[in-house]
A and B are shown apart, each in its own frame.
Chain A
Amino acid sequence: MLKVIAWGFSLFSVVALAQGVTSPAPAATPDMSTPDGMIKAVVSEVMASVKADPEIQKGNIPRIVELVEKKIVPNTDMRRTTEMAMGVNWKKASAEQQTQLTQEFKTLLMRTYSGAISQLRDQTVQFKPLRAAPDDKEVIVRTVVLGRGDPVPLDYRLEKTATGWKVYDMNIMGVWLIEAYRNQFTNQISQNGIEGLIKFLQDRNKALAAGKAS
C-alpha cells in the first residue's frame, strides 16, 4: 500500500525533540535532573520559541538551526549516536575521523530536524508514564505527538552522564534512528571507506546548506 510508503516517508515529518507543549501548562519548573523532566523542559521551550518567532514559522532555516543548536544539541550525545550507528567500524576510525564523523552526522540530523520544525503547526505532546528505577542509567521516555493527522509515537533513549541526562537515540513511529542508519553506514564504508563516508556526509551537508536536496 501507498500508506506504507507514507509511513516510511513521514518518519521525518515528525519533529525530533521539538513538538508541542507539555500537558496543561508548564507547571512549575520542570525537573532537569530526571529524564522525563528534561525532555518536557526542552520540548516546551522549543515549542514556545517556535510560537514566538514569526521567522521560524515562515521557514527561515538558519534561524531554526540556531534554535536547535542552542536548545537541543546540548541535551544530546551525538558522539554516542554516531558510535552506535558506526558499530564495529567505529574502532577502525582514527580519533580525528571519529570527531569528523560525529560533527557531520550531527549536522545532517540537526538539519533534518530543523526542516521538520519549520513544518510545526499546532501539535501537542502527550507524555506516557516513565517506567524506570531510580538508579537506572538508561531510560526510554515515551511520548505521543498529537496534531493534524494521526498520532505519532515518539520515544527518546537517554543515558545518564556526568553532565546530566543526554538523548542519544530516538524512536519515530517504531523506528529507532541508530538502527535505521547502521546498514547505511556499513554499506557506505565498505564501498568507499571511512573517508568516503565522511566525504559523503560533508558533501550532503554542503548541498543541504545550499538549498538542494542531494
Chain B
Amino acid sequence: MAIRRIAGFVAVFATAAPSNSTNVTGVPAGSPGTPFCLPKAIPTIRRHRRRTATLHPKGLPAMSTCLSRPAAAAAFVAFGLAWAALPAHAADKVKVGFVSTLSGPSSALGVDIRDGFLLAVKLAGGKLGGLPAEVLVSDDQFKPDVAKQLFEKDIKRDKVDFMTGVVFSNIMLAALPEAIDNKTIYISPNAAPSSMAGKDCNPLFFAVSWPNDAYHEAAGQYANTRDLKSVYLVAPNYQAGKDSLAGFKRTFKGQVVGENYTKLGQLDYAAELAEIRAAKPQAVYIFLPGGMGINFIKQYVGAGLGKDTTLLLPGFSADQDVIGPVGPAMAGLFNTAHWSPDFTNAANVKFVSEFEKEYKRVPTLYASQGYDAALLIAAAVRDTKGKLEDQGAVLKALKAAHFESVRGPFKFNTNQYPIQNYYVRTIGSDGKGGLINKSFNEPILKNHGDAYVQGCAMK
C-alpha cells in the first residue's frame, strides 16, 4: 500500500516537470494564479467502492502541501541550478550500442564487423580513445522491427554514447530514427544509402564505409575498361539494391540487356539464371550480399553460365565470406572494393595480422569497416578529451576524422560520407591452398565522393 502511494507521488512529481504539464486537476500548469499542489495521496481503487475524488470547494483536490505559484517556480529553479552546478566532469567510460545481423544466411557480415570492432577495442586495451569502452552487442536477426527495439533499448535503457553495427540498409533505415530522435550519434560501418547522402543527410549520421553506390560505380568503370558491351544486372529489391544498379549504370557506357530485382533474402535463383541464359549477355553484374550471393554464384556455376559470360562482382560478393562456401569456382573473378587485405600501409598490416591471430581467418572488407568504425570513435573520444556530453565537439571531431584508417588516407565529404579511392581486386591463390583477394595498385576511381552530396544541406 505504501509503495503504491510512493509510486503515485513519484509519478505526479515526474509529470509535474516544468512546462507543458497539467496538474492533477487538469488545469494547465502554466496558467497564472493557480497554486501548485502535491495531492495528499493518489486515490487507490478499491473493489465495490466507487472512487470519489474529494474536492476542495474551489475545485482543487484536498491538499496537504500547497505552494503559491512563484514559490513553486523558485523551488524548481533552485533545484535545477543545484543540479546543473555539479562540476561538468568528463564521462568515465564510452558506451557503444552494437546492433547487427549475427544469425541467418548473411550473419557472416555482421559477425565480421563485430569482430573487427571488438579487435580494435581489445588492441587498445579495452579502451576507445583512452576511456574504458563498453560495447553492447545484440542480434537484429535480419529483421527491421527487432533492430528498432534493440536501438531503443540501447539508447533509452543503457544510455549509450554511440550506436553502430547495422549491416543492411533497410534495417538501418528502420532503426535509425530511434537514434536521431534521441540525439544519439550513429556511425555506420556498412549501410550507407543514397538518401542519407543527399536530401536526408543528418549531422548525427556518419558513414565510415563507403556510399552505397561506390563499388558499383567502380565496377561500371571497370566494365568500360574491359570493353564489355552488354551486361545483365541482378540485385535484391531494396534500397541498397536499387542504389547498386543505379551506380553501375551511372558509369557503365555499354548496353544493359536485362535488370532483375529479386526478393531480398531469396536463395533459389533457378528462374533468374534461366532468364540470364536466354538473354545472352557478355557479362553479368550482381549485387547480392551475404548468403544470397553465395547461393547465386554456386547456382550460376552449376548452371554452366560461367563459360560464356563474364561474372563481375562488387567486393561484397567476392570476399572471404563468399570464397569459403563457394570454393575454387571463385578463382580469377574480378571485383571492386575500397580495401584489400594486401594493402601495405602500417595500420592495415597490423589489422590483418592481429585479426588472423585472434580469429584464425582472413578478415573481410566488413571486418575492416568495423575496425575503422572503432578507430573513428576512438579518435573522436581522444580529440574531445573524453568530454562526450559536449556533442557538438564530438561531432566536430568525428567529421575531422583524424585516424589512421586501414584503407589508407581517409576523409569525410560535407555529407559525412567518405571520399576515397576504389580498386579492382582479383581472387587468386594465397599460397596456402586457399583463395584471397589481391588488388591492383592503380585505383579505378580516385578520390571519389558520391553523386548525391549536392542534395545535402550540410556544408
Q: A and B: real partners? A: no
Q: Which residues of B are at the interface with A, using a C-beta cutoff of 8 A?
A: none
> Contact residues of A with B, CB < 8 Å?
none
